[in-house]
Chain A
């Protein structure tokens, strides 16, 4: 109450009614300049907290209107992490309005949603499962407040759709304005999807939408610059890294989590973190961070090994290089028969089925296979398009029988080879074939294979190998299997 009156009421009322006539979220620019001198210090503080959101905040304040005056439902939409929720919460706090907040993502069914709303309104009803009940209880609870306005904030309403009765609940939420006419509730919806997703049936009141656009480069810069211990250093860091990263993503949360470790790297050579960098130092720091920069751009999610506190940066770097070489080998345990099964699954997904007979003939493989055909330009082109097609199609599916046939071929070749020396033959006395189906379920569990169709009795289950060629090569290397001889290229 005390914070609020900075603008005379009649003027405000006209703007709000103007907005209600034309529901487009036009930030009324001509009216903005005369207001700026009247902006109170608390509002200025609010605006400074949200760089690039000035027009949205002012619109929101305007649309919410003065205390205890009825207000129209609002739909705030925009991409993820554009400051929707925090803006709404801060504005309501700034205006000192009572509100009820419920995030549809935290609730996973309508009952929890209803009960969360009711309990925040101080309703005495403990259980509320059905939509009509909710409406009745809500009216009761609002009536008890004696016309004191309360804002109902429904956050991330797009996630309601994925519930079992999602569409019904969603339409109930969106038509609350019609149903609670003059009951003293302001409605604020926050969504990631655009208003088109929430078109209501004819006749009900469409919420006024307010767009939160993506941040521009300058806005991102100023948001990231907030609360930095050493602004000069950080700004020199941003000048290096922000450009390439904003080309990849404009989401603040993604940027922040990507830049954080990079900034730590950037500061690594510095002994004094409060230092103000000069040109030469900036250059040196850039040279230092550049290799990491390229790596970070290509990676969305990395899991660093837990670094012990006493370890120095140099040592950690060393381990990083070790990891790079370690990538050549398979770094987890898998039984030999599972490895062969995985290789055969990879081959079955990768090679066309018609080629199996040629690859795995009676001699057990393509030892003497040579391709001598001379290829003309047109056939090369044809092959190229075929290869592209194969890439876009992804790995193929195969029935269990084909997998087992290839597995049998591969292992029989192996046993032939190893029977040359006696000791190995003895070791082979347990065949690899005995519990292949168990190994298959292991591979499915670890997401190396994926399975379509779920009835095992039907027999029409098809599998698909989910591993990439690098992984397959690693597995093949660990059992000394000449995988490249069997992979069909073009």
Chain B
């Protein structure tokens, strides 16, 4: 917040430059005037009550708002609205960009699949020509084919988690549907043991047929296929997660369809999450031999992640960026826990929403025009281009962009290199090879620079070409790049007539000897660029507007400790129920408390096994003792009210019933395990401590 002082400067400069100053001046003016207000807002939102306040206060239209804030509540509402608007706009921009990126990645596979379907379909059509009456015959075609095979594409999704690919398969279905195919999208549930193969064929027909069917069999499918327009299109059956299907049902389904394979052109597309061997391990062999397999590969999650980092995280034009710690957290979350893009995106969304709801000045980004943006965050563009250049190197050496980005956002690293830059010492990494560096924990940027030193000449010239495009706006660097480009091309010409081992020797000798080989020069250039231009967003002035840094909020949002919360809630139930009769003392027990809570508190006194009888006795004691002594409280709870009129045996039964209910509840929440056959009198505690 200390950096707010610099805001008037930005406002004045923008006001002078911008032609439509009237529009853009206002928010800056508000910021300037309402600075104490903003801190109030911040305090409120930090304590987590900002939103409640906003909902309680009556909404006022922004037009009526006076610039000198007389009414705190209305200004709070206004900020809320602005924040919400800022969040909505920013997130919709980011979301659409993410969708675009993922669509581009998938499009290659989609076209490949489509091409495969079309090729196989035309092959089948050219081989077999059948009239519609022949297709509808119930008996198989007797010709000389020895083995009936269904063309099957196994799409390796390269991720053990399947969440990402559900949408991919939906999109693939849409893509195929729009390109003259009948598509049936079948899921694991269609191949369950409960409904057998009848369920699968019914689901298949339901997706193809428009009207509901009384009876579902392959003959109906054949009849449908002969109707009118249907005949000219192939039928594509997509099973998104093959490994989770029941193997017997799927096997039956395949053999059943294989009897009709000459007549109805069916194609399978099956998603395989793990290895190529999975279908072989899963399906029975008589089903396998009816498949004519081929393998297609989806982009790996790390490829997608790279594309996401490149298009969303690095670019500051979305008015939202992540601090170093948050980036690190997200990276670890992706690698260690989940590994799905879906949850990464939702984490990003959470970060984004938290940023706009918690950071008081975040809404300002709405009012930043591109020009202001460049003025305020003038270094961010260079930073972005610089990171792009680094990514080009990473692309060559197959490093993860997220690793590099993590390092690039590290403010410590930046301050270190700033202090280094006076001494002009290049980033050292000796003459190790890259695998050694990996194990010795050298940073990924240093590794990237080292990669350049080992690059062959052609790759180097390619790299420089891409750099030339990226650095167009950085005139100074662009000149250097061009110079190096010409150097490399002349070198390339010289080297071409020698053979490959010599190139290697030569590069190595140059590397170790004079240090003025093109590789070394390019590495030096990158090093200099990093020193000069790479500046983490966190180190920029006014970064609070766009940068989210609160890693703890994100962590508690993503990795909630549900079991701990349940235990805490059970112990402190009176504070939630805000019941008048229970004392504020946490450990005292009264009969009017919730049964489960009483039971859980009683259970605290036991070790890892609880004797049911003793437990029940103490539970009964708590309930009855209180109902005897304080006669007045009895009327408060309906259960005890009834108990007054009941005979003792019925009271006993009631208490037993309540006991059973409470035990079951504890079991369902996972805090308890029911008695085993060996020790029928004891339940086992599963959760200990907090």
Contacts and interface: CB of A to CB of B under 8 A. Distances in A.
Given A333-B300, A459-B673, A108 B197 contact: yes
B559 A103 contact: no
Nearest to A439: B337
Given A300-B280, A332-B273, A101 B139 contact: yes
B158 A332 contact: yes
Interface string B198-233: 100100000000000001011100000000000000
Contacts of B142: 85-86, 89-90, 93
Interface string B556-593: 00010100000000000000000000000000000000
Interface stretch (A37-45, A62-70, A206-214, A428-436): A428-436
Contact of B146 (A100, A120, A252): A252
B288 A332 contact: no
B160 A442 contact: yes
A334 B159 CA distance: 6
Contacts of B153: 306
Contacts of B217: 106-108, 112, 116
A113 B215 CA distance: 11
A103 B218 CA distance: 11
B279 A457 contact: no
Size band of the interface chain A makes with B: 35 or more
Contact of B293 (A115, A301, A333, A448): A301
Contacts of B201: 108
A100 B138 CA distance: 8
Contact of A253 (B144, B146, B160): B146
A120 B274 contact: no
Contact of B339 (A86, A111, A252, A334): A334
A464 B275 CA distance: 19
B161 interface: yes
Size band of the interface chain B makes with A: 35 or more
Given A257-B147, A336-B335, A430-B329, A331 B294 contact: no
Nearest to A426: B328
Contact of A442 (B146, B161, B335): B161
Nearest to A89: B142
Contacts of A112: 215, 217
Contact of B336 (A108, A336, A423): A336
Given A116-B138, A333-B301, A227 B144 contact: yes
Contacts of B291: 301
Interface string B628-643: 0000000000000000
Interface string B231-267: 0000000000101100000001001100110000000
Contacts of A331: 158, 275
B478 to A, nearest CB: 35
Interface in B531-577: 555, 559, 561
B274 A106 contact: no
Given A89-B142, A337-B337, A459-B673, A447 B156 contact: no
A446 B328 contact: no
B399 interface: no
A103 B144 contact: no
Interface string A248-289: 000011111100000000000000000000000000000000
Interface of A: 80-81, 85-86, 89-90, 93, 100-103, 105-109, 111-112, 115-116, 120, 153, 223-224, 226-227, 252-257, 300-306, 331-338, 421, 423-424, 426-427, 429-430, 432, 434-435, 439, 442-443, 445-448, 457-460, 471
20 contacts: A101-B139, A105-B252, A105-B255, A106-B259, A116-B217, A223-B146, A252-B146, A252-B147, A304-B294, A304-B295, A306-B295, A332-B274, A333-B300, A333-B301, A333-B339, A335-B161, A435-B559, A445-B243, A446-B274, A459-B674
Given A332-B159, A447-B282, 14 more contacts: A252-B147, A253-B289, A257-B147, A301-B279, A302-B293, A303-B276, A304-B293, A306-B116, A332-B156, A332-B157, A334-B339, A335-B337, A435-B337, A447-B278
